[in-house]
């Protein structure tokens, strides 16, 4: 499958990303579909920033800044790494949606995890988040048939799971 390539890279999160990352962690649009606590201020979000930063250099994890030049515009992270399966999550700054950045970041994530030896990459999305579904589909991911209901921010959301296996067409 062909898709537009956006000029983004994945890299470790650094202290220079503090402001950009805190903005992502506290963004009200991101927090509707990405399971993050409400942070009343930057100070409250700092422990999660530090954890993401530290995990981004830990070879036992996969956490990366999505970077456009030197600007951190999102991040990808492992939700779980188990055997030959990696489950990932991702966020892109809402004002930069629909430009191919999420699609390209997920493509690079899939490639990197396959290079690490994972055979199956999995991701979930709230059913109403059709943009995230399209990002997965553009990367060759298909429904697993699995779904679960997650209570989030006072509402029940159906979380649908997609996967891609090494060697499947993209």
Question: What was the pLDDT predicted at 6?
Answer: 58
Question: What was the pLDDT predicted at 1?
Answer: 38
Which alpha helices (DSSP H) does the chain contain, by range? 18-25, 30-33, 42-55, 101-115, 130-138
What share of the chain has pLDDT > 70, as a percent?
96
pLDDT tier at 54, thresholds 50, 70, 90: very high
Annotate 84-110 with b (16+ C-beta within 10 A) or e (fewer): eebbbbbbbbeebeeebbbbbbbbbbb
Cα–Cα distance list, 15 to 65, 75, 78, 88, 92 (Å): 12, 14, 20, 23, 19
Q: Token pair for residue 105?
A: 């970041």
Q: Token pair for residue 92?
A: 């892109």
Q: How many helices (H) and strands (E) does the chain have?
A: 5, 7
- Structural domains of the chain ordered from first start: 9-120 (3.40.630.30)
87-137 pLDDT, tens digit each = 999 999 999 999 999 999 999 999 999 999 999 999 999 999 999 999 999
Asked whether the predicted pLDDT for residue 157 surpasses 90, the reply is yes
5-35 pLDDT, tens digit each = 558 999 999 999 999 999 999 999 999 889 9
Q: Which residue has the tokens 């009343």?
A: 40
Asked whether the predicted pLDDT for residue 4 surpasses 70, the reply is no
Question: What was the pLDDT predicted at 134?
Answer: 96
How far, rounded to the nearest angstrom, does the alpha carbon of residue 159 sit from its chain's CA centroid?
Answer: 15
Question: What was the pLDDT predicted at 167?
Answer: 87
Q: What is the mean pLDDT of residues 41-56?
A: 98
In this structure, are residues 66 and 8 in contact, taking their beta carbons and an 8 Å threshold?
Answer: yes
Question: What was the pLDDT predicted at 5?
Answer: 53
CA distance 45 to 25: 7
């Amino acid at each position: 499958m062909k898709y537009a390539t956006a000029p983004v890279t994945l890299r470790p999160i650094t202290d220079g990303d503090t402001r950009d990352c805190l903005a992502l962690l506290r963004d009200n649009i991101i927090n509707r579909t990405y399971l993050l606590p409400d942070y009343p201020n930057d100070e409250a979000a700092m422990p999660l920033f530090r954890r993401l930063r530290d995990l981004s250099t830990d070879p036992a994890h996969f956490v990366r800044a999505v970077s456009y030049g030197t600007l951190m515009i999102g991040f990808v992270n492992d939700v779980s790494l188990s055997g030959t399966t990696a489950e990932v999550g991702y966020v892109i700054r809402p004002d930069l949606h629909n430009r191919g950045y999420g699609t390209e970041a997920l493509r690079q994530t899939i490639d990197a995890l396959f290079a690490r030896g994972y055979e199956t990459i999995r991701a979930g999305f709230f059913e109403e988040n059709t943009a995230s579904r399209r990002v997965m589909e553009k990367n060759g991911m298909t429904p697993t048939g699995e779904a679960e209901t997650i209570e989030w921010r006072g509402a029940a959301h159906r979380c649908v799971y997609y996967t891609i296996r090494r060697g499947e067409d993209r």
